[in-house]
Amino acid sequence: MKPTTGARDPHKLTGKGQATRARILEHAAQLIYTKGVHATNNEQLRRAAGVSGSQLNHYFPTKESL
């Protein structure tokens, strides 16, 4: 059985989906680098990446999946 992290497989996403996922990752990395993991929350990330809460949860259902 293959372990899963809950994150969507980027190879099965459309071009737009891949771009959205990459944007979320980029902003997550910046926020976590500057604020730390525990001080970074989904609302901050959602605003920084310019995505809705449902989009964030679609691509990364848990903080660990980031």
- What does pTM read for this prediction? 0.80
13-65 in CATH: which number? 1.10.10.60
HSE of 9, CA atoms in CB hemisphere, 13 A: 4
Note the pLDDT tens digit of each residue in 8-44: 666 688 999 999 999 999 999 999 999 999 999 999 9
Contacts of 58 (CB under 8 A, 6+ apart): 8
Residue 63, pLDDT score: 84
Distance CA 3, CA 21 (A): 21
